[in-house]
Copies of this chain bind each other. A is one copy, B any other.
């Protein structure tokens, strides 16, 4: 089986795929008479309003995945972005590949620790939610509309996610 090595999630590494949603390094300023700090505009939300899209607020409750995690399919949303913000500190994994024709050789895998969210840009291939360590909830911001906005692709060979050094 092929393997894919997990990397830590950073803004720089994830830039081709969308946004890392985190407070470190985010623009922020005080509001409400100084009682609240606003960390502002943390992701590029694309809802395709020109094609009748509207923003949805959802909660995804993800079951814990057995380890080692094996990747056999990927999906993409051609009409909008999709953001995941964990409700609390959650360990989860993210697997992505560039938008366009799917290329398994260009997949990247990221490991999240602490409070980090991700926003997949429109059309970016990604694996469905991979939660570790228990049932966990995420606030999910994506596109609503009547058009089909989910495409799947099945890999010809599975990839096993490995941590650096597990080899």
Closest Cβ of chain B: how far from A26's Cβ, in Å?
Answer: 8
A129 lies within 8 A of chain B by Cβ: yes
Closest Cβ of chain B: how far from A58's Cβ, in Å?
Answer: 5
Check A23 against B59 for contact (C-beta < 8 Å).
Answer: yes
Q: Tell me which residues from 3 to 48 in chain A have a Cβ below 8 Å from any Cβ of chain B.
A: 21, 23, 26, 31-33, 35-43, 45, 47
- Given the contacts A40-B58, A58-B39, A88-B88, A129 and B32 also touching, CB distance less than 8 Å: yes
| Contacts from A to B (Cβ < 8 Å) | 21, 23, 26, 31-33, 35-43, 45, 47, 49, 54-63, 65, 83, 85-88, 115, 119, 128-129, 137, 139-141, 144
